[in-house]
Structure 1
């Protein structure tokens, strides 16, 4: 029997990329896509007979964490795997607290995505290795979430890598090639870097990062 799934993401390019990854396998049946949490809840009223949702985190109207909590309370039979470019501790912790069954980064290759889905549907919890390590750390030291040290900036490892490449004056496309990411994912990381550093340009970001010993 085919696995009936939905994708929730506000970026149509990334929806297409995820669809494409799963199109390599015959056992997946995409039932619908949604562009934010409220959208998926409305669509589930008519199409609740699905097995799995691949859920982004940062979306307008209603984010993936809020949507996960609501979907889980109304449709506990549906498995939810967070599929996102963000690997910072708050997102991981909040998503797991909301009831997410797995957490994968969007750079995941087709085979690993398929295996992660099958593992999750089988009662496991799919996780990108770097996320699994962070989750273990959070479990060992849950206070680190509630009482973070007052670090002004909380860049993820991937964001720091992108920033280092930016500092070398490389283009988005070249950074994408070097880090084996899509240009769209690089753009999303850079947006996130700008937000965290509270800057509006590459030059400002690099300068601030250097001044604060982030790179």
Structure 2
């Protein structure tokens, strides 16, 4: 009974690994406000609506007031107008809302494209990433999915045969294969989170190249 349960969980792990490729593709190709928390989603709606009605002086004032309330006085209103325009909302607005608290104003000698700093931890700061590593993460998820398929195939193979190589002796135990498969699944989840985090920062850099993020 335990063996049947182990093989069932291996099958579930394989299914989840395939789903993760779809999930990665979906996350990349369908950016939307549903990926924001409730409060951030409301902020997005507020800024988008204010930007759409900012053609006259009163509307521009409302957008500036909303942007200052959400982002603070340090952010450049011109950059925020680009971010929450109809064209820039998905490319810049969504990422900026997610990572705004990580961004710090550059000091006077750091001003310019590379001046904005990212506060990852309390005492750990870096510049905004200059390389988009999303393609590498996609390849990593696909490779991990392939590894899961291989491990699952080995679980079937070792039902009737054993692997005699000492370094691979662990694959003769289905529970070890199960642990490895779910370890890879968890690794993919971490890759998803890191991909979103770094891509948001990369998009913030792209916006900073168009117009400085801070005054």
TM-score greater than 0.5 by the shorter chain? no
Question: In terms of Rg, which structure is larger?
Answer: 2
TM-score by length of 2: 0.28
TM-score by length of 1: 0.28
